[in-house]
């Protein structure tokens, strides 16, 4: 640390610096999920239901003496799922597991996806990773492929690919990436491949599991086992199938659950949050291991509506860390010194935000509360308020403007019929039923899911931004009048 | 142009957009809600304000399902630091729902369920939105510049609902759209003259009549229509809507009820449902110019301007002397930046109604944009002579900025004629 710089002195310079303002603006970019090893990462387990992903999934995989299991993981869009999955991955790897992370939108056409596509994508990634890191060859799968004979032409493979299958085992190249690419991009091949796999699904699964079994046995450490994380399946767009409210998510994850868990390894699928509240949700409990783990929002207020200070503080910490990161980098570059990340904050939140109370609340507290504990909302509001700002500190007016912009986006996502439902959720026992009408609201984040600090009790509440919209308040009035 | 909201807020919104584009490094997603003409103006202005940046526009002329490749191609041809994208709505229009659906409630009763959620259909995803939603990583990782989407309101709403993951990576949303609040007229003139308590007395009277159950179903439906009209005159649009629904439950073929229902929905700001309702009216009476006209208004409020104009054209095919339709058509063409046609449309309106002051005023704005100062001043003079309020309006209307210092303009605005 370079002592020649008096940080107190440069503070006022920093607050007026336009370049730093731009740095801060870019630091709250909602399109970049954090890795858990990033300096700005903040562990939120103590304010979001006590770390359910490690307890509910991670520890069970590690502790239970099984070589295969299948878990579902979900949470609101932009709530930090991917970051948590990276964390789960490092945790499992530390415990000697062989983890394969599959980003499904790279390998699948999520607009038109079915269970066989997912199985093939997993197969491809498992083979690729195992071949990269071990000497295990997918002989059983080569055999299955060769048995398809003439049909292989319909897999979108070239003559050369097919001839390669007849080489000696050492020289064979598994055309997994080609098959996966063909399913993704060529509708006619996709249809043919699906037909073939479905028709010969049992030998296919046997071959795949034989390969996995071999991998399990040959891995150097006996405890090592295979885990496949399939992320982003929650991005499959909902398509309603018929008037009873069932949709393509139900078809894939409930009707085809037996296929999805047919691999003899540990599997974790990220699914849409609305699935958990499907009418068929009880089937999920039967079909998959454990409960579907939902990543809850950071609790900024409790069920009764009292402020939960620990949650608010966590969000402040998160903002402070990102500001520190930007400020430190900026100071290092501008003054050509190396200060590292170990020194205390140069600009405090009190410097960044206007401190005056309006309506009994400071600018920063107002911002934290209205996010509802949703991380991407924190990013949006910070990004927008900085964008409105020409010189720090950020004024209350600019934060309110940012809030209005976010509120507008929510207003545009609510159907007229939904206002009464939302009023009911906010005023009633705050736990939603497995009913179709609530699913869309969870999916669009109008209703958020929370979990008590002990991780046990779950409840739902309407997004704080929505509570400020006139139509919502009118609906609450109507509800009151109707005597409930 | 007649536009009450055009104050410094537009300038402010522009400044925020500029801030964002200036500060954003690498990939950024900006959504701008505006009309096509405004969009082009914003593009030009940004180009002027960032002379050193490579700013370019991608105008989509037809339906597409793959935006990524189009941008990737453009990226090969030229260096880009900000890319404007206009016309995405053309890929959404074919997927808007136009049929109302009937939802059967638990009691077995049929309810009209023409909700917005239905307008932006749930049984299918427009391919372009699915594409954006699923390809967002590729956009982020391969385009190291800002994308600015110029969109009408309905397209933005569709995107929020059906490409939520893409929208979730935004750097900002900027609304430039003016609220089109042109009036709607129905056949309730006489009720307008009643006092509020008189209206309610009449409503009770009719409800009693219905309760007696002596009426044929056809008549009952018409009575509900009457009740709806009374509520409408009393500005109680929620009750009006419910009454029209009652009428339609009894007889879903009364086109007037669909039409009135549309009007109530417009007043409630529920334009998507209004459009569906007007279309239903047109199913039963295809040559109802009023339904075509109001459908146009509702479409305009969602920024679907091409369709709006087509709707006025239909109204004018039926009733060529419909001067308000000519006028609105002109305003819409102006929003598309088609000034020549805009003026022709006002001229048609003025042929029918020579004292149409609003049309004279807007014509003057249009001439100013064409730099035709002489005709602009002549039209403005005419507008002011018909209605003094236009003198005040012209004092602050930015449409006249280019001729503001012209002595003739000055004397027209500040001296009595």
Residue B182 pLDDT exceeds 70: no
Res B117 pLDDT > 60: no
DSSP label at A343? S
* Count of positions (residues) in chain A: 484
Strand A458-462 to strand A447-451: parallel, antiparallel, or no bridges (unpaired)? antiparallel
Which chain B residues are closer than 8 Å to A405 by Cβ?
A: 172-173
- Give the span between the Cα atoms of A378 and A319, in whole angstroms: 8
**A240/B16 CB distance under 8 A:** no
- Tell me the two tokens of residue B204: 């009770």
pLDDT digits (tens, 9 = 90+) for B283-330: 999 999 999 999 999 999 999 999 999 999 999 999 898 999 999 999
| Region label for A428, one of left (φ > 0), alpha (ψ between -120 and 50) or beta (otherwise) | beta
The mean of the pLDDT values for chain A is 84
The yes-or-no verdict on residue B346 having pLDDT over 60 is: yes
How many angstroms separate the first and last alpha carbons of chain B? 22
- Across the interface, do B24 and A25 touch by the CB < 8 Å criterion? yes
Q: Are residues A311 and A275 in the same domain?
A: no
pLDDT in tens, A446-483: 999 898 877 678 888 999 999 999 889 999 998 888 86
CA distance A137 to A214: 9
Return d(Cα B34, Cα B151) in angstroms, integer.
6
pLDDT of A137 above 50: yes
CA A378 – CA A371 distance, rounded (Å): 6
Contact A410, A420 (CB under 8 A): no
Cβ-count burial A218-228 (b if 16+ within 10 Å, e if not): ebeeeeebbbb
From A259, A294, A329, give the residue that closes a domain. A294
Residues A21 and A168 in one domain: no
Determine, yes or no, domain membership for A42. no
If you compute the radius of gyration of chain B from its CA atoms, what whole number of angstroms results? 24
pLDDT value at position A390? 92
Alpha helices in B78-181 (DSSP H): 116-119, 127-134, 136-142, 153-162, 164-167
What number is the average pLDDT over the span A284-290? Answer: 83
What are the pLDDT digits (tens) for B32-50?
A: 998 888 898 899 999 999 9
| Phi and psi torsions of A179, nearest 5° | -65, -45
| Cα B215 to Cα A477, B168, B261, B290, B320, distances in angstroms | 36, 55, 23, 29, 40
Share of chain A above pLDDT 70, in %: 92
Provide the pLDDT confidence category of residue B7 given band limits of 50, 70 and 90: very low
pLDDT in tens, A118-128: 888 888 888 88
A128 and A237 assigned to the same domain = yes
**A67 band by pLDDT with thresholds 50, 70 and 90:** confident
The DSSP code for A3 is T
Token pair 């690919």 is at which residue?
Answer: A161
Tell me which of A380, A411, A442 is where a domain ends: A411
At residue A310 the predicted structure's pLDDT band, cuts being 50, 70 and 90, is very high
Q: Note which residues in 55-114 of chain B have CB less than 8 A from chain A.
A: 113
Strand order across the beta sheet in which A293-295 lies: A98-103, A226-231, A266-270, A69-75, A293-295
Q: What is the pLDDT of residue A190?
A: 81
Token digits for A117? 């596509």
pLDDT at site B35: 84
Judged by CB atoms closer than 8 Å, whether chains meet at B160 and A111 is answered as no
* Cβ–Cβ gap B23/A387 under 8 Å: yes
pLDDT band at residue A2 under the 50/70/90 scheme: very low
For residue A237, which of B187, B263, B135 has the smallest C-alpha distance? B135
Identify all chain A residues contacting B172, using CB atoms and an 8 Å cutoff: 383-384, 387, 405
* CB B150 within 8 Å of CB B86: yes
Give the whole-angstrom CA distance, residue A80 versus residue A47.
Answer: 13
Task: Specify the pLDDT at position A376.
Answer: 93
Residue A273: count other Cβ atoms within 10 Å of its Cβ: 23
Q: Give the closest residue to A450 by CA, choosing from A462, A465, A434.
A: A462
Quote the CA–CA distance of B342 and B363 in Å, as a whole number: 8
CB B364 within 8 A of CB B379: yes
pLDDT recorded at residue A50: 64
For A206-219, what is the mean pLDDT? 82
The answer to whether A237 contacts B172, with C-beta atoms less than 8 Å apart, is no
In a domain, A2, yes or no: no
CATH architecture of B8-175: 3-Layer(aba) Sandwich (3.40)
Measured from the Cβ of residue A187, the count of other Cβ atoms closer than 10 Å reads: 11
Chain B residues touching residue A391 (CB < 8 angstroms): none
Contact A96, B125 (CB under 8 A): no
Tens-place pLDDT, residues A389-433: 999 999 999 999 999 999 989 988 888 888 988 998 888 766 666
CB contact (8 A) between residue A239 and residue B135? no
Question: A212 and A235 share a domain?
Answer: yes
Fold of domain B189-414: 1.25.40
Using alpha carbons only, give the angle A95, A100, A101 rounded to the nearest 5 degrees.
Answer: 115
User: Across residues A51-77, what is the average pLDDT?
Assistant: 85
Instruction: Read off the pLDDT of residues B194-214 as tens digits, 9 standing for 90 and up.
Output: 778 778 878 888 887 787 766
Contact indicator for B124, A95 with CB cutoff of 8 Å: no
Statement to judge: residues A362 and A472 lie in one domain: no
Q: Which tops the pLDDT comparison, B117 or A207? A: A207
pLDDT band at A224 (very low <50, low <70, confident <90, very high): low
With H, G, I as helix, E, B as strand and everything else as coil, classify residue B122: coil
Does residue A337 sit in the same domain as residue A213?
A: no
Phi-psi region of A78 (alpha: psi -120 to 50; beta: other; left: phi over 0): left
The answer to whether residue A90 scores a pLDDT higher than 50 is yes
* Contact yes or no for A101/A267 (Cβ under 8 A): no
Task: Based on the fold, state whether residues A259 and A339 are members of the same structural domain.
Answer: no
Peptide bond into B188 cis (omega under 30): no
Helix (H) or strand (E) holding A227: strand A226-231
Residue of B nearest to A445 (CA): B164
Q: How far apart are the first and last CA of chain A?
A: 63
Phi and psi at residue A320, in whole multiples of 5°? -60, -40
Q: How many CA atoms lie within 13 A of B403 on its CB side?
A: 26
DSSP states along B365-378? HHHHHTT-HHHHHH
As a whole number, mean pLDDT of residues A90-108 equals: 87
Same fold, B8-175 and B189-414: no
What DSSP letter does each residue of B137-156 carry, written as one string?
A: HHHHHH--SEEEEEE-HHHH
Q: Are residues A271 and A126 in the same domain?
A: yes
CB B354 within 8 A of CB B342: no
d(CA B314, CA B294): 11
Structural domain boundaries enclosing A256: 52-294
Question: Can you spell out the DSSP letters for B173-211?
Answer: EEE-PPP-------S-HHHHTS-HHHHHHHHHHHHHHHH
- Cα A45 to Cα A88: distance, rounded to the nearest angstrom: 13
Delimit the domains of chain B by residue range. 8-175, 189-414
Angle, in degrees to the nearest 10, between helices B67-77 and B127-134: 70
Q: What is the pTM of this model?
A: 0.80
Report the number of distinct structural domains present in chain A.
3
Torsion-angle region of residue A305: left (phi > 0), alpha (psi -120 to 50) or beta? left
Q: Is residue A382 part of a domain?
A: yes
Residues A429 and A348 in one domain: no
Specify whether A311 is located in the same domain as A263.
no
Task: State residue B3's pLDDT score.
Answer: 35
B134 closest CB neighbour out of A29, A30, A105? A105
Query: What is the per-residue pLDDT across A22-41, written as a single tens digit (0 to 9) for each?
Result: 999 999 999 888 888 888 88
pLDDT at B95: 85
Neighbours of B375 (CB within 10 A): 15
Contact between residue B289 and residue B326 where contact means Cβ atoms under 8 Å apart: no
The model's confidence at residue B87, banded by pLDDT at 50, 70 and 90, is very high
Last residue of a domain, one of A387, A411, A435: A411
Helix locations, B3-62, DSSP H: 8-23, 36-49
- pLDDT category of residue A349 using cuts at 50, 70 and 90: very high
Smallest Cβ distance to A387: which of B135, B136, B172? B172
Q: What is the DSSP letter of B89?
A: G
* A467, A471, A472, A474: CA torsion to nearest 10: 120
CA A147 to each of CA A117, A119, A151: distance values in angstroms, whole numbers, following the listed order: 19, 18, 9
pLDDT band for position B98 (50/70/90)? low
Q: Determine contact: B25 vs chain A, CB below 8 A.
A: yes
Helices A375-388/A18-27 angle, 10° precision: 160
Nearest C-alpha of chain B: how many angstroms from A26?
6
CA-nearest residue to B162 within chain A is A237
- Other Cβ atoms less than 10 A from the Cβ of B67: the count is 20
pLDDT of residue A1: 45
How far is C-alpha A7 from the chain's CA centre?
38
Residues A89/A101, Cβ–Cβ less than 8 Å? yes
Interface test with B, best of A415, A437, A444, A470 (most B CBs within 10 A): A415
Q: Assess contact for A35 and A87: CB atoms under 8 A.
A: no
Supply the Cα-derived Rg of chain A in whole angstroms. Answer: 26
Instruction: Please say whether the beta carbons of A208 and A263 come within 8 A.
Output: yes
The whole-angstrom separation of Cα B337 and Cα A107 is: 43
Nearest to A237 among B16, B125, B270 (CB): B125
Cα A449–Cα A451–Cα A452 angle in degrees, nearest 5 = 150
- Phi, psi for A398 (deg, rounded to 5): -70, -35
pLDDT at A351: 92
Strand-pairing partners, residue B104, are B110
Q: Which residues contact A465 (CB under 8 A, 6 or more apart)?
A: A370, A372, A377, A403, A406, A407, A410
Q: Which residue of A has its CA nearest to B20?
A: A387
A39 in any annotated domain: no
User: Is residue A93 domain-shared with residue A216, that is, in the same domain?
Assistant: yes
Taking the C-alpha atoms of residue B100 and residue B113, their distance in angstroms, rounded to an integer, is: 6
Helix B357-369 × helix B373-386 angle, to 10°:
160
């Amino acid at each position: 640390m370079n002592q020649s710089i008096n940080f107190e002195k440069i503070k006022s310079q920093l607050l007026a610096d336009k370049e730093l303002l731009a740095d801060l603006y870019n630091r709250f970019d909602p399109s970049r999920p954090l890795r858990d090893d990033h300096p700005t990462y903040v562990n939120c387990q103590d304010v979001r239901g006590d770390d359910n992903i490690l307890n509910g999934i991670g520890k069970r995989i590690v502790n239970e003496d099984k070589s295969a299991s299948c878990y579902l993981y979900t949470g609101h869009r932009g709530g930090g799922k991917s970051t948590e999955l990276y964390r789960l991955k490092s945790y499992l790897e530390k415990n000697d597991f062989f983890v394969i992370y599959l980003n499904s939108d790279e390998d699948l056409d999520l607009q038109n996806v079915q269970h066989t596509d997912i199985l093939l994508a997993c197969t491809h990634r498992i083979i690729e990773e195992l071949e990269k890191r071990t000497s295990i060859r997918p002989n059983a799968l080569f055999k299955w492929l060769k048995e398809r004979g003439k049909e292989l032409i319909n897999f979108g493979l070239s003559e050369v690919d097919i001839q390669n299958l007849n080489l000696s085992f050492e020289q064979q190249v598994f055309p997994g990436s080609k098959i996966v690419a063909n399913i993704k991009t060529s509708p006619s091949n996709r249809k043919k491949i699906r037909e073939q796999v479905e028709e010969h699904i049992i030998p296919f699964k046997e071959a795949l599991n034989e390969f996995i079994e071999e991998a399990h046995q040959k891995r150097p450490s006996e405890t090592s086992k295979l885990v496949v994380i399939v992320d982003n399946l929650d991005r499959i767009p909902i398509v309603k199938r018929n008037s009873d409210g069932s949709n393509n998510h139900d078809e894939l994850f409930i009707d085809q659950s037996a296929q999805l868990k047919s691999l003899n390894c540990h599997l974790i699928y990220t699914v849409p949050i609305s699935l958990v509240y499907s009418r068929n949700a009880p089937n999920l409990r039967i079909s998959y291991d454990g409960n579907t783990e939902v990543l809850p929002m950071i609790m900024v207020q409790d069920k009764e509506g009292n402020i939960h200070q620990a949650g608010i503080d966590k969000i402040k910490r998160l903002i402070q860390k990102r500001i520190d990161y930007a400020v430190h980098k900026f100071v290092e570059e501008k003054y050509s010194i190396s200060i590292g990340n170990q020194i205390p904050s140069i600009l405090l939140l009190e410097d960044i935000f206007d401190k005056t109370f309006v309506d009994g609340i400071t600018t920063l507290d107002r911002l934290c509360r209205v996010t509802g504990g949703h991380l991407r909302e924190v990013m949006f509001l910070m990004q927008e308020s900085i964008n409105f700002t020409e010189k720090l500190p950020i004024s209350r007016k600019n934060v309110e403007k940012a809030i209005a912009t976010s509120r507008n986006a929510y207003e545009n996502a609510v159907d007229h019929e939904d206002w009464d439902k939302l009023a009911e959720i906010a005023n009633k026992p705050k736990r939603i039923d497995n009913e179709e009408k609530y699913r869309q609201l969870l999916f669009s984040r109008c209703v958020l899911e929370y979990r008590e600090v002990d991780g046990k009790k779950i409840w739902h509440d309407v997004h704080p931004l929505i509570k400020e919209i006139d139509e919502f308040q009118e609906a609450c009035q109507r509800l009151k009048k109707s005597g409930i | 142009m007649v536009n009450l909201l055009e104050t410094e807020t537009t300038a402010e919104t522009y400044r925020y957009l500029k801030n964002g584009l200036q500060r954003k490094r690498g990939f950024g997603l900006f959504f701008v809600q505006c009309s096509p003409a405004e969009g082009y103006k914003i593009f030009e202005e940004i180009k002027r304000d960032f002379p050193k940046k490579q700013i370019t526009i991608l105008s989509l002329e037809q339906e597409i399902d793959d935006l990524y490749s189009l941008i990737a191609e453009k990226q090969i041809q030229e260096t880009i630091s900000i890319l404007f994208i206009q016309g995405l709505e053309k890929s959404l229009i074919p997927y808007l729902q136009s049929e109302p659906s009937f939802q059967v409630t638990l009691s077995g009763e049929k309810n009209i369920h023409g909700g917005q959620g239905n307008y932006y259909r749930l049984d299918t995803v427009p391919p372009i939105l699915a594409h954006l939603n699923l390809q967002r990583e590729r956009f982020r990782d391969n385009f190291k510049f800002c994308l600015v989407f110029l969109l009408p309101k309905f397209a933005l709403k569709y995107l929020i609902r059906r490409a939520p993951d893409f929208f979730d990576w935004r750097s900002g949303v900027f609304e430039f759209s003016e609220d089109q609040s042109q009036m709607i007229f129905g056949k309730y003139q006489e009720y307008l003259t009643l006092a509020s308590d008189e209206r309610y007395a009449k409503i009770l009277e009719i409800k009693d009549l219905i309760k007696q159950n002596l009426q044929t179903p056809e008549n009952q439906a018409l009575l509900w229509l009457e009740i709806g009209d009374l509520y409408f005159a009393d500005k109680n649009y929620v009750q009006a809507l419910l009454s029209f629904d009652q009428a339609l439950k009894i007889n879903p073929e009364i086109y007037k009820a669909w039409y009135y229902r549309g009007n109530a929905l417009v007043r409630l700001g529920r334009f998507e449902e209004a459009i569906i309702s007007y279309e239903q009216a047109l199913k039963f009476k295809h040559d109802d110019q009023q339904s075509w006209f109001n459908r146009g208004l509702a479409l305009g409020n969602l920024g679907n301007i091409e369709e709006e104009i087509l709707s006025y054209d239909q109204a004018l095919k039926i009733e060529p002397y419909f001067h308000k339709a000519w006028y609105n058509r002109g305003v819409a063409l102006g929003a598309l930046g088609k000034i020549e046609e805009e003026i022709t449309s006002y001229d048609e309106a003025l042929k029918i109604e020579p004292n149409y002051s609003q049309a004279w005023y807007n014509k003057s704005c249009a001439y100013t944009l064409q730099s035709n100062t002489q005709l602009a001043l002549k039209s403005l003079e005419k507008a002011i002579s018909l209605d003094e309020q236009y003198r005040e309006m012209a004092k602050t209307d930015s449409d006249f900025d280019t001729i503001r210092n012209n002595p003739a303009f000055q004397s027209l605005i500040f001296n009595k004629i």
